[in-house]
Amino acid sequence: MNHIYMDYASTSYVDPKVLESMLPYFTEEFGNADSMHEMGRNAKQAVDRARKKIAEILNCRTEEIIFCGSGTEANNLAILGTARANKDKGAHIITSESEHSSILKAIKYLEKHEGFEVSYINPEDLEKTIREDTILVSIIYANNEIGSIQDIQKMGEICRKKGIYFHTDACQAGTSLSLDTQALNLDMMTLNASKLYGPKGVGILYKKKTVEIQPIIFGGGQEMGLRSGTVNTALIVGMAKALELAQTNKESENKRLSFLQDKLINGILNSIPGSELNGSRESRLPNNINVYIPKIDNKELVLHLDEAGIYASTGSACSSGKTTPSHILKA
């Protein structure tokens, strides 16, 4: 039986070129990047090259790239670290109800346990929601479930004029959209490798040099003191290669995927009575389709598709096993 994998919003396979770049750092050049001997220096040089490559792609300084263990961790560092470091300036945060759970749960923790006040908005209401005590805005770049693309450039410009930190979760956008942090008016941006045909277990937080932030993991003081833990050289090298390939191939891939996207959307809507597309048809990632099909149990549908060799999801894999409606679709 042929198998069709349609769960790339959850994770992608590792590109052979990415795997090839990583292999030496598992077996041959396995030194700790903080060690002073030759193997340690070799590992550090590999990490430095990866950081430089990523900084070039993001149009930022090398010291503004913080390697983390996942996109979730990078999002938590951006939200918790920035809020705690700037509480003397204010305690108001702005976000939307359709963020990834790693953003919403971190913000709700601050709201419940650390005295922060949160406004959950539609992005077009950003400017009128900003207050004198607003310190942070976090709006997702491209939604992880319905693929909707937000105008973060405009929102970043609004925040910059008001002197407020602006963060975006760009994990879903890395293969399709611009990641130029300067053009997008960003103070912070999260990316991870597993959506880029890279390895699982590595992500980055771009943090503009002027952003005040506190660590949420403590130890040996790696990553400019903001993310302690032995540097995972192999995964960092793999992320840099994956990001490079994704951005290089972006234009041709977008064209290929848009054709397939239109074909599948039209096929579903024209052949299944009552079916609807969730989210924008135009302002949408080219690798995303999210549909509503009436009178069908979603879990049962996914299992039937699985038996037919088609791998799909009913929502974010970060909330796998849950039968409650998606908070993003509800929003």
Active site (annotated) includes residue 318:
yes
- Residue 268 CA to residue 293 CA, distance in Å, equals 9
- Residue 51 CA to residue 322 CA, distance in Å, equals 37
- Residue 3 CA to residue 249 CA, distance in Å, equals 25
For the chain, the helix, strand and coil percentages under 3-state DSSP, each to the nearest 5: 40, 15, 45
- Residue 305 CA to residue 5 CA, distance in Å, equals 11
For β-strands 117-120 and 92-95, DSSP reports them as parallel
Which of 316, 313, 310, 258 minimizes the C-alpha distance to 71?
316
Q: Is 275 left (phi over 0), alpha (psi -120 to 50) or beta?
A: beta
Which member of 60, 159, 171, 318 is catalytic?
318
Q: Directed axis angle between helix 233-248 and helix 38-58, to 10°?
A: 30
The H or E element spanning position 158 is: helix 152-162
Which residues are marked as active site? 318
